[in-house]
Structure 1
Amino acid sequence: MSAQRQETVRRLAAPDITDRKGKTPIVCLTAYTAPMAALLDEACDLLLVGDSVGMVIHGLPNTVGVTMEMMILHGQAVMRGSRRAMVVVDMPFGSYEGSAQEAYANAARLMKETGAQAVKVESGPTVAETIDYMVKRGIPVMGHVGLRPQAVLVDGGFRAKGRGEAERTRILDEARATAQAGAFAVVIEGVAEGLAREITEAVNVPTIGIGASAGCDGQILVTDDMLGLFDWTPKFVRRYADLRGEILRAVETYAADVQARRFPGPAEIYFPKAG
């Protein structure tokens, strides 16, 4: 056997994430491309190929227009770029709401064609039965409660959830049902801080917060937001870099060098070999 064989790295899976309940917080970020997945892999426990790819990469106004083909394409790229982190792929709008059987078929396709370790669904009032159906048939599922981006057309926009008592109760019930149906973790997005803590205490699987609470079992952000690639970011995002500014400065410098014929210079040009 070759001495140069690459060291085998065990990729994290659903049981590893579930076992982190109440322990060291779980680090999660979104990824849509192989190069970014490679950069994030070592620091992250879980990479989510989110349907946010429709807005972040493809310029869509929301996630409703995202297709299975888009999720498969980006899921394959992230799997190629990562080695250690668990990879979860979002099931796009319309791929799991119709029936449990249809959801299973689409989830199985996502996992077969990408090699990802799990799928994620937004846990509306009818989704718990679908999660149960898929989990019993070998599909690891992550749930998602609170602000549900795929429901943007029903809600009329992206608004924080759980501030009123009736809505608070509904979200808590959906989170409990999601966990009881067999989800290995639950994303909590855009809810009142106290509700996120209550959900975290009420369910026996890890909660992953985004605009929720530091008391969740882990956190996730859209990587492009966290890196400052957009001129606007949601309230719940902390910018850890200003890559938008860096890119703009680099492009302006490049344009000036081209216009002044400073680029390419001797270091970037091929010359005939001597002799």
Structure 2
Amino acid sequence: MLALRGSLRRLSQALVHQVCSSFTTGHRQQEGTLYEFCTYYLKPANVEEFLYNFKKNVHLRTAHSELVGYWTVGFGGRINTVFHIWKYDNFAHRAAVYKALAKDEDWQEQFLIPNLPLIDKQESEITYLVPWCKIGTPPKEGVYELATFQMKPGGPALWGNAFKRAVNAHVELGYSTLVGVFHTEYGALNRVHVLWWNESADSRAAGRHWSHEDPRVVAAVRESVSYLESQQNTFLIPTSFSPLK
């Protein structure tokens, strides 16, 4: 009896460790690389001026850290908005970059100070790329879709596997090209962003239509949807200076 209790206790401890490990670290890459999602809501009359100024001075900003992509919102969200993703090795790297930017007189004088009045509001989220996904490179220039899923509380330990199967069903059947899957660490929790590439808005619409009629996709999505609270899809147009085109 004592031996049985000891075995059960060890099994229980192992299961607790497994669940906790999945919950605390299972949603991110092991090396700690993080991605900052920045959204700037611009004043309508100043969008072109802001983008022109950033294009002219983008080299001053990318001298400090890596720009993954820079887009304007086409539809599915608030227009007159720019969305950009920055990559950092870890939180210490991000802190060092922002400290350096505060001392960079060229960046401050040529871009930041003149353009702050053009921004109505800013938002920032810190995300991790999920461990089963790497940043994809689109085959050519196109358009992007950011699908944002607000999942039920509980984290990836609860809904991670079902969500992965739903994403992979779309990828494996070729209905869209996956760029990355990101899980929010700071911002709204239990939020997952999936960034897709398509050749055009019409090719995206066709792929979505076909996927809705594919029983393999429908079955995978049906499982994931049971953990879903809300979803928003935003159509993104890459700027001329965006690394992801």
Could you state the TM-score of these two structures normalised by the residue count of structure 2? 0.26
**Structure ranking higher in helix proportion:** 2
Of structures 1 and 2, the one with the larger relative CO (CA 8 A, separation 6+) is: 2
Could you state the TM-score of these two structures normalised by the residue count of structure 1? 0.24
**Structure ranking higher in strand proportion:** 2
